[in-house]
Structure 1
Amino acid sequence: MSHLLRLIHNENIKIYKRTGTWVMVGIMILTVASIGFFTNFVLDSDSHADWKTQLTAENTQLADTMESTPMPEHQKQLLQEKIALNEYRIHHDIAPIDRDSLWGYMVDTTTLTGLAALFTIVIAAGIVASEFSWGTIKLLLIRPVSRTKILLAKYASTLLFALMMIVLLFSSSFLFGILFFGFGGAETPYLSISNGKVVEQNMITHIIELFGFRSIDLIMMVTLAFMISTVFRSNSLSIGISLFLMFTGPQIVQLLSRYDWTKYILFANTNLQQYTTGTPLVEGMTWTFSITMLLIYFGVFIFLSLFIFKKRDIAS
Structure 2
Amino acid sequence: MLKLIQNEWMKLWNKKGTWIMVILLAVMVVGLSGLSKIMEELYDDSAWTEELQQELVQVEEELAAPDLAEDKKIELMERQNEIQQNIEYSIENSKPTSREQTILGTYGMMSLVLLLMIIASAGIVASEFSQGTIKMLLSRPVKRWKILTSKYVTVLLFGSTLTVITYVLSIISAYIFYPAAEGKTIFLYDSEIAVTAVFSESAYLVLLAFIYVVVMSTLAFMIGSVFRSSALAIGVSLFLFFTGSMIVMFLERFEIAKYILFAHDLTQYELGYTVLDGNTMPFSIVILVAYVAIFLTISYTTFIKRDITA
Kindly indicate whether the alpha-carbon contact (under 8 Å) linking 1:102 and 1:186 is maintained by their aligned counterparts in 2: no
Counterpart amino acid of 1:20? G
Asked whether 1:34 is paired with 2:31, we answer yes
2:185 is matched with which residue: 166, 184, 189?
189
Asked whether 1:124 is paired with 2:121, we answer yes
Counterpart amino acid of 1:308? T
Kindly indicate whether the alpha-carbon contact (under 8 Å) linking 2:25 and 2:166 is maintained by their aligned counterparts in 1: yes
Q: How does 1:87-236 map to 2 (within 5 A)?
A: 100-182=97-179, 184-185=180-181, 188-190=184-186, 200=194, 202-236=197-231
What TM-score do you get using the length of structure 2 for normalisation? 0.79
State the distance in 2 between where 1:206 and 1:186 align.
18
State the distance in 2 between where 1:280 and 1:108 align.
18
Runs of 5+ consecutive residues of structure 2 not aligned to the other structure: 47-73, 79-84
Counterpart amino acid of 1:293? I
Q: Which moved more, 1:282-291 or 1:251-260?
A: 282-291
State the distance in 2 between where 1:48 and 1:101 align.
18
State the distance in 1 between where 2:193 and 2:104 align.
19
State the distance in 1 between where 2:244 and 2:30 align.
29
Task: After TM superposition, give the deviation of residue 189 of structure 1 in Å.
Answer: 3.3
Cα distance change of structure 1 residues 278 and 181 upon mapping to structure 2, 3 Å threshold: closer
In structure 1, what is the equivalent of residue 51 of structure 2? Answer: none
Q: Which has the larger radius of gyration?
A: 2
State the distance in 2 between where 1:162 and 1:300 align.
20
Task: After TM superposition, give the deviation of residue 32 of structure 1 in Å.
Answer: 1.5
Task: After TM superposition, give the deviation of residue 106 of structure 1 in Å.
Answer: 2.6
State the distance in 1 between where 2:182 and 2:117 align.
32
State the distance in 1 between where 2:112 and 2:222 align.
20
Q: How does 1:18-29 map to 2 (within 5 A)?
A: 18-29=15-26
SS state of the match for residue 283, structure 1? coil
Cα distance change of structure 1 residues 108 and 291 upon mapping to structure 2, 3 Å threshold: closer
Cα distance change of structure 1 residues 286 and 230 upon mapping to structure 2, 3 Å threshold: same
In structure 1, what is the equivalent of residue 272 of structure 2? Answer: 278
Kindly indicate whether the alpha-carbon contact (under 8 Å) linking 1:147 and 1:309 is maintained by their aligned counterparts in 2: yes
2:7 is matched with which residue: 6, 10, 13?
10
Task: After TM superposition, give the deviation of residue 275 of structure 1 in Å.
Answer: 2.7
State the distance in 1 between where 2:109 and 2:131 align.
32
What TM-score do you get using the length of structure 1 for normalisation? 0.77
In structure 1, what is the equivalent of residue 67 of structure 2? Answer: none
SS state of the match for residue 114, structure 2? helix
Report % sequence identity.
36
2:250 is matched with which residue: 255, 258, 264?
255
Kindly indicate whether the alpha-carbon contact (under 8 Å) linking 1:48 and 1:98 is maintained by their aligned counterparts in 2: no
In structure 2, what is the equivalent of residue 287 of structure 1? Answer: 281
Task: After TM superposition, give the deviation of residue 218 of structure 1 in Å.
Answer: 0.8
Task: After TM superposition, give the deviation of residue 281 of structure 1 in Å.
Answer: 3.0
State the distance in 2 between where 1:109 and 1:238 align.
27
Alignment length (residue pairs): 280
State the distance in 1 between where 2:192 and 2:36 align.
30
Counterpart amino acid of 2:181? G
Task: After TM superposition, give the deviation of residue 111 of structure 1 in Å.
Answer: 1.7
